[in-house]
């Protein structure tokens, strides 16, 4: 009799265990990666989810981290990202995957989801169990049924975010720093905390004057989120990126992948800067060595026009090389700095020289100098070269470069020091702009120069004082040497590879000088 009672009691206990096991059994539909995720181990790529409210710039941050203007879709409207997209950061030398980044849809109604979780899950269960119960419900797939409170409820987008959270090692929570602290954001953070992975808030659009970072940090601290960072996806700072990775590393037991990533990215960033300065130096030497000869009686204007056009094309090619180096492209998909009027402005426009505060030794706004043959002050303004051609004859012989030139009647035409200085300043400006422009920037009129530019004329304000890398009358020794080396210029000889090989040592030397400018 006692034996039968014990058997019945065991059966009842087993039934109770089975009834308590009903919820976990129903959760078998949860992705295997979410159920079997373990803490990141040594040597494993980091799985990093990028989450946040709609339209806070999650995809924008990923574009800038990836240096990829094509990743995802960026629009000034909510819910642009509708599916989880993966991207990878690799070691540029070994090709090893160091970080897998997951771009997730925006959290659209965290407050509604929190209400559902409070009403339909047991508060005694841990956060992961409550989130898994939500993922097993119809509303997580967009369907309606007994689990849905009303036919209008659809948390399928939130479900995509939560599934990725449960499959990730950690997450960054992107905050639009311009937004006030609202209740919906507090609910988002509460739900994210249930995933039991480290979450680091990242402030986007911090360059805005409307940033509310102090208020946000107070709210975050009340939720035990004391580590946050700033990373503006449009106004980029490399130090901010390194701080982002460093702060993430402090939250991990095994941070080897992030440490390797930081080291490689720092080395790559420095190397990219070196290579960009060599591109600029090579361009300047090519122009400085550019020379054309004319006879005494030749009309100089057709040759001047040809030289100016050759320099314009050469500058444009140099600009494209810089853009490509920093993975910006001149196309209709993503706006680039070259769409700014200032970068398209004619380098032989005398007003541009004036904008930069550059003066020639004669005080004229010259674009090309007839070397030692014709006084720049005697040339005409239509090409940015002075006043008129009428008085040109009086200055020819007295400015002829050598006795041999006098005897042969040959005049040599060069690009003058003022224009070389302008080209150098403008190239350095572009390089600095690219180093501080995020790959999410879509505004073609975004300020890239260090001064204000009039949106109608494309000229800089008169009170802007830009610093040139050297005084106009004190060209670097490398450029002075190039003036006597016409074989260094492909613009003179038409032999691009041969000319570049001849000036390669001078380009390296000049690039070091540019880095110190």
Flag whether 378 is in a domain.
no
> What local confidence, expressed as pLDDT, does residue 41 receive?
56
Q: Which domain holds residue 279?
A: 268-361+388-443+463-515
Q: What is the tens place of the pLDDT at every residue in 66-101? A: 999 888 765 555 545 568 999 999 999 999 999 999
- Could you tell me if 213 and 275 lie in one domain? no
Token pair recorded at residue 159: 């479900």
β-bridge partners, 99: 46, 89
3-state secondary structure of 372: coil
Kindly report the number of other CB atoms within 10 A of residue 76's CB atom. Answer: 7
Q: What torsion, rounded to 10 degrees, do the Cα atoms 248, 249, 255, 256 define?
A: 110
Cβ contact 106:58 at 8 Å: yes
- Could you tell me if 103 and 191 lie in one domain? yes
Domain end position, chosen among 221, 253, 285: 253
- Could you tell me if 295 and 244 lie in one domain? no
> What local confidence, expressed as pLDDT, does residue 202 receive?
96
> What local confidence, expressed as pLDDT, does residue 482 receive?
95
Flag whether 92 is in a domain.
yes
Residue bearing tokens 């040809």 = 306
d(CA 298, CA 308): 18
Cβ contact 46:99 at 8 Å: yes
Cβ contact 348:419 at 8 Å: yes
> What local confidence, expressed as pLDDT, does residue 210 receive?
78
Flag whether 139 is in a domain.
yes
> What local confidence, expressed as pLDDT, does residue 152 receive?
59
- Could you tell me if 288 and 423 lie in one domain? yes
Flag whether 382 is in a domain.
no
Flag whether 375 is in a domain.
no
End-to-end CA distance of the chain: 99
The whole model's pTM is what?
Answer: 0.79
- Could you tell me if 63 and 175 lie in one domain? yes
- Could you tell me if 210 and 285 lie in one domain? no
d(CA 366, CA 418): 7
CATH code of the domain containing 51: 3.40.50.300
- Could you tell me if 90 and 127 lie in one domain? yes
Domain end position, chosen among 227, 253, 279: 253
Flag whether 37 is in a domain.
no
> What local confidence, expressed as pLDDT, does residue 376 receive?
37
Give backbone dihedrals phi and psi of 301, rounded to 5 degrees, phi first: -60, -45
- Could you tell me if 179 and 223 lie in one domain? yes
- Could you tell me if 433 and 470 lie in one domain? yes
Flag whether 186 is in a domain.
yes
d(CA 488, CA 148): 76
Intervals of the chain under pLDDT 50: 1, 3, 6-39, 79, 144-149, 151, 332-335, 337-340, 361-403, 445-464
> What local confidence, expressed as pLDDT, does residue 35 receive?
40
If one counts the domains in the chain, the total is: 2
> What local confidence, expressed as pLDDT, does residue 363 receive?
37
Name residues whose C-beta falls within 8 Å of residue 368's C-beta, 6 or more positions apart in sequence: 304, 307, 308, 348, 383, 385, 413, 414, 415, 416, 419
- Could you tell me if 241 and 317 lie in one domain? no
d(CA 228, CA 208): 18
Domain end position, chosen among 253, 287, 302: 253
> What local confidence, expressed as pLDDT, does residue 170 receive?
96
- Could you tell me if 421 and 329 lie in one domain? yes
- Could you tell me if 65 and 117 lie in one domain? yes
Flag whether 130 is in a domain.
yes
């Amino acid at each position: 009799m006692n034996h039968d009672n014990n058997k019945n009691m065991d059966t009842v206990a087993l039934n109770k265990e089975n009834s308590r096991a009903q919820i976990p059994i129903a959760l078998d539909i949860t992705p295997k990666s979410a159920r079997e995720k373990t803490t990141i181990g040594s040597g494993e790529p980091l799985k990093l989810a990028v989450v946040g409210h709609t339209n806070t710039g999650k995809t924008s941050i990923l574009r800038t981290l990836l240096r990829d203007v094509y990743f995802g879709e960026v629009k000034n409207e909510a819910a642009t990202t509708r599916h989880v997209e993966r991207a990878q950061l690799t070691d540029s030398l070994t090709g090893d995957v160091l970080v897998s980044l997951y771009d997730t849809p925006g959290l659209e109604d965290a407050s509604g989801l929190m209400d559902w979780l409070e009403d339909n899950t047991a508060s005694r269960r841990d956060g992961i169990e409550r989130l898994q119960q939500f993922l097993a419900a119809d509303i997580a797939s967009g369907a309606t049924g007994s689990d849905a409170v009303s036919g209008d409820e659809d948390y399928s987008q939130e479900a995509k975010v939560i599934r990725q959270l449960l499959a990730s090692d950690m997450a960054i929570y992107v905050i639009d720093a311009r937004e006030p602290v609202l209740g919906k954001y507090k609910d988002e953070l509460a739900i994210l905390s249930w995933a039991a992975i480290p979450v680091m808030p990242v402030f986007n659009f911090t360059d805005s004057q409307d940033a509310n970072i102090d208020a946000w940090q107070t709210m975050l601290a009340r939720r035990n989120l004391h580590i946050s960072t700033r990373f503006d996806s449009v106004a980029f700072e490399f130090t901010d990126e390194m701080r982002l990775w460093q702060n993430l590393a402090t939250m991990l037991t095994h941070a080897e992948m992030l440490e390797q990533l930081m080291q490689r990215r720092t080395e790559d960033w420095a190397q990219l800067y070196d290579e960009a300065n060599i591109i600029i130096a090579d361009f300047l030497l090519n122009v400085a060595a550019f020379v054309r000869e004319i006879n005494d009686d030749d009309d100089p204007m057709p040759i001047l026009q040809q030289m100016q056009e050759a320099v314009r094309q050469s500058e444009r090619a140099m600009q494209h090389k810089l853009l490509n180096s920093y993975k910006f492209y001149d196309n209709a998909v993503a706006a680039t700095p070259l769409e700014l009027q200032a970068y398209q402005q004619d380098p032989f426009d005398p007003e541009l020289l004036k904008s930069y505060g550059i003066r020639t030794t004669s005080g004229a706004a010259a674009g090309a100098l007839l070397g030692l043959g014709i006084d720049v002050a005697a040339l005409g303004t239509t090409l940015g070269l002075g006043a008129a051609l009428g008085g040109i004859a009086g200055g020819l012989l007295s400015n002829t470069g050598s006795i041999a030139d006098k005897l042969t009647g040959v005049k040599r035409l060069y690009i003058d020091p003022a224009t070389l200085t302008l080209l150098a300043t403008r190239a350095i400006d572009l390089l600095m702009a690219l180093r501080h422009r995020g790959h999410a920037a879509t505004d073609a009129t975004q300020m890239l120069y260090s001064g204000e530019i009039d949106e109608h004329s494309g000229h800089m304000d008169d009170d802007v004082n830009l610093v040139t890398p050297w005084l106009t009358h004190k060209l670097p020794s490398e450029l002075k040497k190039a003036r006597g080396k016409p074989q260094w210029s492909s613009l003179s000889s038409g032999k691009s590879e041969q000319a570049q090989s001849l000036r390669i040592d001078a380009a390296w030397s000049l690039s070091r000088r540019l880095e110190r400018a």
